[in-house]
Amino acid sequence: MTVLITSGSAYSDIDAFACATALAEALQHKGQTAVAWLPGPPNLTIPAEFHHHPAFGLSCPAGKYDVILVDLSDPAHIPDELAVEQVVAVFDHHFGHEEFWASSDAKTFIEPVGAAATLIWEEILSLKIAQYLSAVVLKALCCAIVSNTACFRLPLTTQRDRDALETIEGMLAIETDWRERFLREMDDGIFKNLKRALTTDTKIIQLTATQSFCVGQIEVHDRARAIESLGSLVAAGEDLPDIVVVAARSVERTSLVSTRIKVAEKLADFYGVKVAKKDALFECRLPSFQLRKMMLQDFSRVMLD
């Protein structure tokens, strides 16, 4: 049976793209019929050179499939066109749904690494076909690991992430200074298209049947520029998500930004920090460097209070 490799439907980031396309190509080299399909539009973590990849289909390819989920384990976010019963394997680095998959027949690889791409690379190594992968998917895997670990600055980075990136870079024969160039290019894209960056990198968290909240994220070098740019969006009449995670590499710290003072005060109380006001924005500066995926459970507790 054909294997369909997919991720969430709201948007696609570089980790989902790299995982889906690399695993599909690997399985094809093993003689399986495999296709990568990403229903969510590419966000600005994905370099423009990948935006027209055939994985970004407008509709689910026709046919019956065994489904592999990558960078996704929440069953609520499986594309509507597919059923949970079709899932035969799950590769993810987000926690919270292990019990659900334990009661299913799917093989699960939900592990504490910086990037889901690292899990896919390890799977490719186990299949013994790494040498046959195209430069396109190898580069995508590199971009995913660099993006998801903020070039190894995040505390969730593991030696497995480092080993994977260094091995793939060696296969591509590229210099390590490409990493910072890639991050700077991603920054430029975010600041030039900040509204789109937020729209395509916002998660909706369902607390109860009637209560939900939105968390956007931008990972950039310059915190001050990010706060100023968010303020300009609000001044122009644009709405922001309930919480915007601003992960600033230059200071290796994260700010939580909201236009709602009550939300900011709840966050400040939870994390033991102060609220700083700048025009219509309220900012909580955390003492550590974190991405949204590391704080979602905290946010849920805060918003339920």
SS3 sequence of 100-161:
HHHCCCCEEEECCCCCHHHHHHHHHHHHCCHHHCCHHHHHHHHHHHHHHHCCCCCCCCCHHH
Radius of gyration of the chain from Cα atoms? 19
CB atoms within 10 A of CB 55: 21
- Whole-angstrom distance between the N-terminal and C-terminal Cα of the chain? 47
pLDDT for the residue numbered 234: 97
Provide the percentage of residues in the chain whose pLDDT is more than 90: 86
Instruction: State the average pLDDT over residues 121-147.
Output: 97
Say whether pLDDT at 176 is over 90. no
Instruction: State the average pLDDT over residues 26-54.
Output: 94
Say whether pLDDT at 147 is over 80. yes
Say whether pLDDT at 165 is over 90. yes
pLDDT digits (tens, 9 = 90+) for 72-110: 999 989 999 999 999 999 999 988 899 999 999 999 999
d(CA 164, CA 141): 9
Q: How many CA atoms lie within 13 A of 77 on its CB side?
A: 23
**Going from the N-terminus, what domains does the chain have, and what CATH number goes with each?**
2-184 (3.90.1640.10), 193-304 (3.10.310.20)
Beta bridge partners of 220: 248
pLDDT band of residue 242 (cuts 50, 70, 90) is very high
pTM, whole model, 2 decimals?
0.92
